[in-house]
Structure 1
Amino acid sequence: MLRRTFLLLALSFSISTSHADEPRTKVALAGDSTVTDTAGWGAAFAKLLGPKAECLNFARGGQSTKSFRDSGNWKKVLDSKPAYILIQFGHNDMPGKGPNRETDPETTYRQNLITFIDEARAIGAQPIIVTSLTRRVFDKDKIRGELKPYADAATKVAAEKQVPLVDLFTRSVDLHNKLGIAESDTFNPPGKDPKTTDRTHLNPHGAEVIATLITEELRKTAPDLAKLLK
């Protein structure tokens, strides 16, 4: 009896150890501050992944599709050898951000996304395009939506290159139009200057809501990755 008990315990330990040693699937995030752990949806998204997945967040504040490559951040993404790469830019690609960051949605922004997709595929990763998170800026009672040209360009690229798309721009615009100004402001992080309001970045509540929208879209468009969600 003691021998049988010992064998059962040994087998149980062996099985649990083998599961613990299994490599987790890497899911990388590439983007600007709205994707980071501290000011965006990155950390909230990571919490929605199951135990078989690992989230690697390479998003950096102030980055565009141009500067993310020029600064070497994109190379870090590729070097991590992820299975999936979620790619979201647009905020710092807009006019007024300076020549080191600005891109045109129909030309340079489009080409940068295509290059990201091609290089991700070259290392065996599945690229997933995420359209820009909207700013919570209203004209009267509707979201202004100045990022639409970049979201439209990203949507076209995803269709042409046949990669999964998370249309976060449309989902977030619809969400905030429904919520209205006061409720949308509950997404705002606390500002250093009480006279200014940050309607671009996210507090923990906002991050959780946006991350949930992303997972809802992934279940529709990226079923293989969706299997890794809780």
Structure 2
Amino acid sequence: MKKTGLYILFVLIAVIIIPLRGAKGEVVESSLSGQKKGGFENDTAVLKIVAFGNSITAVRSNVQQVFAQRLPALLKNRGINAVVINSGMGGSHSGRLMDNDRIQVKHGLDRFIPDVLNHKPNLVIIGFGHNDAYIDSNRLDGKSRIPLEDYRSNLIYMITELQKTKSKIILVTPSPIARLQRPSFQNIRLSKYAEVVRSLAVEYQVGLADNNKLFLEYNKNGKRYESLLTDGVHPDDDGHQMIAENLVIEIVKIIENKY
């Protein structure tokens, strides 16, 4: 009688455990995003997006919603369920604090693992450049906080590490700046950083949201891109809406396997 009882208990345990394992005995992983690995073919899936960048990405008190906050609703209108994690940091450049410590925050590479990789995202939006390119001496021949080649190397590291995880990527060019206190050579220097982003998008076959071009071409009711900036650098709500709408176009391209 005791043996029969033990046998029945063993069978019940097996019935509970076996469905949790695959055909070969491996534990079946359940994606945090609720979708199949390596693609977005499940219509009920939630696309997990990390927006990684500087103060253009970060939430701001003088803006109702930054682009990352606008994306879920805009994507929902396209039939795409998404959750967006905002990993923007004001003052952040693409490198590490030891590379340039003028702004005492954790910079791009300092927080890449906890703020990006650890979230196991399906898609990462990478937007750096303003703080990297900036010339603190305010001289035409002055040094940028992060040299152009180092900026390129930092982005390549992020791209290649994300590609190892099969995460999709959208690179974002830094939007132009405009203010009397920021002379034209600051923007000229920034445009070189934007060109690096464009070239990397082609080289690594990833998405590109060209904010630099988007803003420079803005002309609505006779107003130029300067009207979209709250302080000559940071976009207002209209600017963030424009950025978000442009990102949706790129995200849809990625879902349609165009990258």
TM-score (norm 1): 0.70
1:41 aligns with 67
Secondary structure of 1:33 counterpart: coil
User: Residue 200 of structure 1 is aligned with which of 233, 252, 255?
Assistant: 233
Label 1:134 to 1:183 Cα distance change in 2 as closer, same or farther (>3 A): closer
Secondary structure of 1:135 counterpart: coil
Q: Give the Cα separation in 2 of the matches to 1:146 and 1:46.
A: 33
How many Å apart are 1:131 and its aligned residue?
1.0
Q: Is the 8 A contact 1:29 1:35 kept in 2?
A: yes
Label 1:69 to 1:209 Cα distance change in 2 as closer, same or farther (>3 A): closer
Secondary structure of 1:34 counterpart: coil
Q: For 1:88, give the aligned amino acid.
A: G
Q: Give the Cα separation in 2 of the matches to 1:202 and 1:34.
A: 7
What do the CA deviations read for 1:110-145 (whole angstroms, capped 9, x no partner)? 111110001111222112211112224489xxxx55
1:210 aligns with 243
What do the CA deviations read for 1:27-64 (whole angstroms, capped 9, x no partner)? 11111111123265322334322262111110111111
Q: Give the Cα separation in 2 of the matches to 1:94 and 1:57.
A: 22
2:117 aligns with 78
Q: Give the Cα separation in 1 of the matches to 2:177 and 2:257.
A: 27
**Cα RMSD (Å):** 3.2
1:26 aligns with 48
* Identity rate, percent: 23
User: Residue 117 of structure 1 is aligned with which of 159, 183, 188?
Assistant: 159
Spell out the pairing of 1:92-131 with structure 2 (5 A cutoff): 92-96=131-135, 102-105=145-148, 107-131=149-173
2:215 aligns with 172
Q: Is the 8 A contact 1:26 1:54 kept in 2?
A: yes
1:55 aligns with 84
Label 1:172 to 1:184 Cα distance change in 2 as closer, same or farther (>3 A): closer
1:153 aligns with 2:186: no
User: Residue 89 of structure 1 is aligned with which of 128, 132, 155?
Assistant: 128
Secondary structure of 1:69 counterpart: coil
1:133 aligns with 175
Indicate the structure with greater helix content: 1
Higher normalized contact order (CA 8 Å, seq sep 6+, divided by chain length) = 1
Secondary structure of 1:58 counterpart: strand
Label 1:110 to 1:180 Cα distance change in 2 as closer, same or farther (>3 A): farther
Could you say which structure has the larger radius of gyration? 2
- Structure 2 segments unaligned to the other structure (5+ residues): 1-33, 35-43, 97-106, 138-143
TM-score (norm 2): 0.63
Q: Give the Cα separation in 2 of the matches to 1:129 and 1:151.
A: 10
- Structure 1 segments unaligned to the other structure (5+ residues): 1-17, 190-197
User: Residue 108 of structure 2 is aligned with which of 49, 69, 76?
Assistant: 69
Label 1:146 to 1:28 Cα distance change in 2 as closer, same or farther (>3 A): same
How many Å apart are 1:109 and its aligned residue?
0.8
